[in-house]
Amino acid sequence: MPRIILHLDMDAFFAAIEERDTPAFRGAPLVVGADPMGGKGRGVAATSNYLARAYGIHSATPISTAWRLSEAARRAGKPPVTFVSVDMKKYARVSGKVMRIVRCFIPRVEQASIDEAYGEVSWTGSYEEAERLCRRLKVEIHSEEQLTASIGIGPNKLIAKIASGWRKPNGLTVVRKEEAEAFLAPLPIRLIPGIGPKTEDILKAKGIKIVADLRAVALHQLEALLGKRGADFHEKVRARDDSPVEEYSEPKSIGEQETFEVDTLDSHTLLNQLDELVRGVIDRLHHEGFHSFRTVVLTVRFADFVTKSRAHTLAMATDDHATLRREALKLMLPFLDQRENPNRKLIRLLGLRVEKLTNSRLSWSSTPTYSPTFW
């Protein structure tokens, strides 16, 4: 029986949910993210629908840039972008529903992010059967949630993941084991998971642009260029990946962050913001079914974009609001004075995250919960 793995990724997830819930948003460019404030907004886009992507607006595009692109489109007689704020609770709820549907079809599922999952479907016995299963799964998600997913089917997680992004939106791409190497060969190296902008630059400097170029590099040369990771890429470019679908990948953290409208060192403003973050994190902790946390991480980004995080792990796990507030405050105060901020730099962004979570749901059901953080 061949090994067959699928990867499912929802299309324009946050934006698709907003379009579904607000008919007026449909058919026009939509960005979910920070408030653009007439071009002065300081956060980023979480995502955009496909019409807004045609304007060049994607995940992590600064919201001020998104505004500028929208204005340029408007001046060119095209529809301007509608901006909506992020409603994380809603997206987590929808994610939970989608993942439950996936688990009805597939016994072994690994949730990889808020809108992505791997499934082990070798038991279907053939690529044809796996494809049939995926068609039914897509129809079910659409009829239950009015959302579309793209799915890739392949001999391992690596190929399935790349295949799911192949024909988005609403795609279904099957890459059989014997086709996998040829499928990868012409792709830009950036599509190989693990190759980020820095690695891409190192390789491009050597004239390596597509997977076929990378495949031509000997193992010892790759190791010389990229260290230990070289061996990993040596396998990947040959379409080899034996990592298992891990059903109970533990959720890592829950975090919230806020960019200030104006950089600040005003303790009142910072405290108010910290209180809001504490409330948001505790709300999500409970909402997403967690029992407690042990580690508190505070992140400060200064006006010059230098970013520092400080963490503290408690002796005992808790879900207590006052404890989180006290610990977060202890971590923040040094940033207001000499200890962590000798030059009195203004603060641009404050983030709060809890880790080492325990999941009460796991004690009475086998449904794992995933919690995303995006910073």
- Residue 215: other Cβ atoms inside 10 A: 17
- Which one of Mg ion, ligand TTP, none is in contact with 47 (Cβ closer than 5 to 8 A by kind)? ligand TTP
CA end-to-end span of the chain, whole Å? 41
Gap between the Cα atoms of 102 and 105, Å rounded? 5
- Which one of Mg ion, ligand TTP, none is in contact with 79 (Cβ closer than 5 to 8 A by kind)? none
Gap between the Cα atoms of 372 and 362, Å rounded? 18
CB of 88 to ligand TTP, least distance (A): 9
Task: Name residue 31's beta-bridge partners.
Answer: 48, 83
Gap between the Cα atoms of 49 and 135, Å rounded? 23
- Which one of Mg ion, ligand TTP, none is in contact with 233 (Cβ closer than 5 to 8 A by kind)? none
Under 8 Å between Cβ of 121 and 5 = yes
- Token duo for residue 118: 């791997």
Closer residue to Mg ion (CB): 17 or 222 = 17
CB of 164 to ligand TTP, least distance (A): 8
Chain centroid, CA 220 distance in Å: 33
Closer residue to ligand TTP (CB): 217 or 349 = 349
Closer residue to ligand TTP (CB): 57 or 226 = 57
- Residue 181 catalytic? no
Give how many residues touch Mg ion by CB under 5 A: 4
Closer residue to Mg ion (CB): 59 or 360 = 59
Residues found near ligand TTP in the complex (CB under 6 A): 9-14, 46-47, 59-60, 114-115, 168-169, 374
- Which one of Mg ion, ligand TTP, none is in contact with 57 (Cβ closer than 5 to 8 A by kind)? none
- Show the DSSP H helices in the chain as ranges: 13-21, 50-53, 63-75, 88-105, 127-145, 157-164, 177-184, 197-204, 211-215, 219-226, 229-236, 267-287, 321-332, 361-364
Determine the 3-state secondary structure of 333 from DSSP: helix
Closer residue to Mg ion (CB): 191 or 231 = 191
- Which one of 18, 19, 116, 327 is the catalytic residue? 116
CB of 126 to ligand TTP, least distance (A): 27
CB of 92 to ligand TTP, least distance (A): 11
Phi/psi of residue 338, nearest 5 degrees:
-50, -35
CB of 309 to ligand TTP, least distance (A): 18
Closer residue to ligand TTP (CB): 25 or 323 = 25
Please identify, among the stretches 1-9, 15-23, 29-37, 289-297, the one whose residues bind Mg ion according to the rule CB under 5 A.
1-9
- Is residue 115 part of the contact set for Mg ion (CB under 5 A)? yes
CB of 298 to ligand TTP, least distance (A): 20
Running DSSP on this structure, what letter comes out for residue 217? S
Among 5, 9, 94, 281, binds Mg ion (CB under 5 A): 9
Under 8 Å between Cβ of 123 and 245 = no
Judged on CB neighbours under 10 Å (0-12, 13-18, 19+), 258 is middle
Of residues 231, 236, 246, the one with CA closest to residue 193: 236
Q: How many helices (H) and strands (E) does the chain have?
A: 14, 13
The residue behind tokens 């503290």 is 312
Closer residue to ligand TTP (CB): 234 or 348 = 348
Cα dihedral 340, 375, 369, 22, rounded to 10, equals 130
Please identify, among the stretches 114-122, 222-230, 298-306, 334-342, the one whose residues bind Mg ion according to the rule CB under 5 A.
114-122
- Which one of ligand TTP, Mg ion, none is in contact with 80 (Cβ closer than 5 to 8 A by kind)? none
- Which one of Mg ion, ligand TTP, none is in contact with 46 (Cβ closer than 5 to 8 A by kind)? ligand TTP
CB of 12 to ligand TTP, least distance (A): 4
Under 8 Å between Cβ of 51 and 28 = yes
- Residues that are catalytic: 116
Q: Where do contacts with Mg ion occur on this chain (CB under 5 A)?
A: 9-10, 13, 115
